[in-house]
Structure 1
Amino acid sequence: MTSLPAVAKEYRLPKYESIDDLTLGEAPVSQLGYGEVLLKVHAVSLNYRDLKIALNQYPLPLGQHIFPVSDAAGEIVQLGEGCKKFTLGDRVMPNFTRDHLTGGPTLSALLTAHGGAIDGFLREYAVVPEYCLVRVPEGWTYEEGASLPCAAVTAYNALMGLIPMKGGDTVLIQGTGGVSIFGLQIAVASGANVIITSSSDAKLELAKSLGAHAFINYRTHPDWEQEVLRLTDGEGVDYIVEVGGPGTLQKSFKCIKYSGIISSIGFVAEQGDPGNIAMLALARGVIFRGILIGSREQFEAMCKLFEVAGVHPVVDKVFKFDEAKEAYRYLESQKHVGKVVIRID
């Protein structure tokens, strides 16, 4: 274990206007309180949320002058008084929402979302409560571990959090971003049949290598919901991981099975008319569910599934710490498949 520095490098967002507002500086390493640990942050991963926060387009409350980025993996280098679960050197990941430990979210827990309402992890060292930590799966790199807290837990909650998906169910995954690829991997590991959409045939080829069963290029098939119905003999799918938002919702309702579940996660397709959601849901007896990431308990259960099934994250590209702005811009370009990571070392 190396000696701890008195001062460490960190990025902050002093204002929310553009990616260029990311500001690299230095500050003293914080002291520990009761039940807290000091993490040497080794890697972070970016989510669409991080981009929206930097551009002041995020719909939920934000803190002031925050450390951005919710997803991190690091090593415990110091333990505060009262810590019992972990030991020095343990490799861990903070849960996306610090105080969401079990069950559904609460208002008070949502106000502890890392990288938004409270400080995140685009920095060399971070002090966090021991209770929000989850072990990095055995044999994984820090870059892989940093990929999990937001996107993977969101996908797990969408498919396993309300009425758990089961083997033989059919799942529609929209797109090939972070949440979507994790949704694909979770569904395949659980024995479901997966239909996936993308605008890129190359990305669909990668999805095929990860176990997807059917593929729809929505540029070639703009009425992709009709292709979903064709692939399911007119029945529709049991689950939809809905990342488009207003621009795709009406199509999703047309190809969900009666009594199916649509999990609303993102708003990548912001342009469009979502229609009368109440009537659309009523017409097919559908559960339409908004997903607010997930609990530490779900995070731990998901890691067990990944370990048993041998699932590893798809890491598209790794940037250096001083290339954080370039990483954000690469995410913005939507050229990635899977996760965009920043290595802190």
Structure 2
Amino acid sequence: MRAYHLEALGTIEGIVLRDHGGPRPVPAGPTGIVVRVRAASLNKRDLLILCERYPLSAAAGVVPLSDGAGEVVAVGEAVTRFAVGDRVSCAYFPRWRDGRITPDLVDQPGCTLDGMLSEYALLDEEWAVRLPQHLTWEEAATLPCAAVTAWNALTGGEGGAPLPGQSVLTLGTGPVALFAVQFAKLLGCRVVSTTSSEEKADRLKALGSDAVVNYVSTPEWGSTVRELTDGGADLVVESGGPDTIEQSVRASSLYGQIALLITASAAKSGMEISHAAYASSLATIRRVFVGSRTQFESMNRAVATHGLRPVIDRVLPFEEAREAYRGYAEDAPFGKVVIRTGE
């Protein structure tokens, strides 16, 4: 079995491929399953972990990447949730089943637990999630982090998902924003997006955005969004944090909701909202940190029902994992960067 390990932090060269040899691994206990990983994908958090800027510290020599997809090839004697041949992924928070997360549930594959950049993954059956059948391995490998985050941002608030005809604002063209566009359209919402180029604006419109605002040529884009949405966005999927929160508040409707994502890579160190922006809105700000296994399963039912397909920028072979990291960090891809582990 071959697997990559984070053997040194701070440099892509610290991601090292090891051949562990020997026979195929066996389940780790009676409720364990062995997954033949077919594809894995990168998230910004993987770069933050590598650069030691993530809220959690990586375990020494951990197998990286939270996101991956594969088939079950062996099960423990007490396994009831899955059978050999099932298509599965691992939940981002394997121990967070439902409800609110608590501090004892924050372990994550690719950080404190071994992740998916390996030919085989050893999971407990309670960590795994069944995948939509219509997706390719590469598409399925994009779901655990960015997709669940977008789904939680749209549907996880106390008031539930926005209603058909309501407006959703997404920021930029990162994977969470692209999934948010797709999910918002699936829910029947009007979507306004921001970006920095006309080429990306065209791609966002092709994906489903009803209107796109260029935040470079229109730095005060919050007021423009309010005009486009006839009073403000009902939901803002806020993926910029300190860099964009001021305009997001200005873009929100009077009683709108702002789903604020983890933003450890923001340029500013603190969150500031001017009195003028604060006074212009009664919006609620809700923090979002991916989601539970139940939310992952709910999202997958919606993905399967509507035949949704994730946006993939590029697919690289297993042997080029370092190049995948490098490209993700340097090229601002439109969609997910995927590493194919096997056919």
Matches within 5 A, 1:234-249: 235-249=231-245
| C-alpha deviation, 1:288, in angstroms | 1.0
2:34 aligned residue? 38
Q: Pick from 5, 27, 32: which aligns with 1:12?
A: 5
1:329 aligned residue? 326
1:344 aligned residue? 341
CA distance in 2: counterparts of 1:226 and 1:305, whole angstroms: 33
Q: Pick from 310, 316, 320: which aligns with 1:319?
A: 316
| C-alpha deviation, 1:280, in angstroms | 6.2
CA distance in 2: counterparts of 1:277 and 1:179, whole angstroms: 26
1:97 aligned onto 2:90: no
1:283–1:64: structure 2 CA closer, same or farther, 3 Å change rule? farther
1:158 aligned residue? 153
Aligned residues between the structures: 336
| C-alpha deviation, 1:96, in angstroms | 0.8
Q: Pick from 40, 44, 48: which aligns with 2:44?
A: 48
1:108–1:273: structure 2 CA closer, same or farther, 3 Å change rule? closer
Q: Pick from 250, 254, 264: which aligns with 2:250?
A: 254
Paired residue type of 1:293: V
Conserved 8 A contact 2:134-2:307 = no
CA distance in 1: counterparts of 2:219 and 2:274, whole angstroms: 21
1:86 aligned onto 2:79: no
Gaps of 5+ in 1: 1-7
1:192–1:330: structure 2 CA closer, same or farther, 3 Å change rule? same
1:118 aligned residue? 113
User: Cα RMSD between the aligned structures?
Assistant: 1.8
Paired residue type of 2:179: F
Gaps of 5+ in 2: none
Matches within 5 A, 1:292-307: 292-307=289-304
TM-score relative to the length of structure 2: 0.93
2:71 aligned residue? 75
2:139 aligned residue? 144
CA distance in 2: counterparts of 1:274 and 1:307, whole angstroms: 38
Paired residue type of 1:10: A
| C-alpha deviation, 1:84, in angstroms | 1.1
Q: Pick from 114, 129, 132: which aligns with 2:127?
A: 132
1:127–1:220: structure 2 CA closer, same or farther, 3 Å change rule? same
Listed one character per residue, the Cα deviations across residues 226-262 of structure 1 (whole Å, up to 9, x for unaligned) are 22122123x1111111111111111111111122111
1:282–1:295: structure 2 CA closer, same or farther, 3 Å change rule? farther
Paired residue type of 1:308: T
CA distance in 2: counterparts of 1:22 and 1:61, whole angstroms: 16
CA distance in 2: counterparts of 1:63 and 1:286, whole angstroms: 39
Of 243-252 and 262-271, more deviation after overlay is shown by 262-271
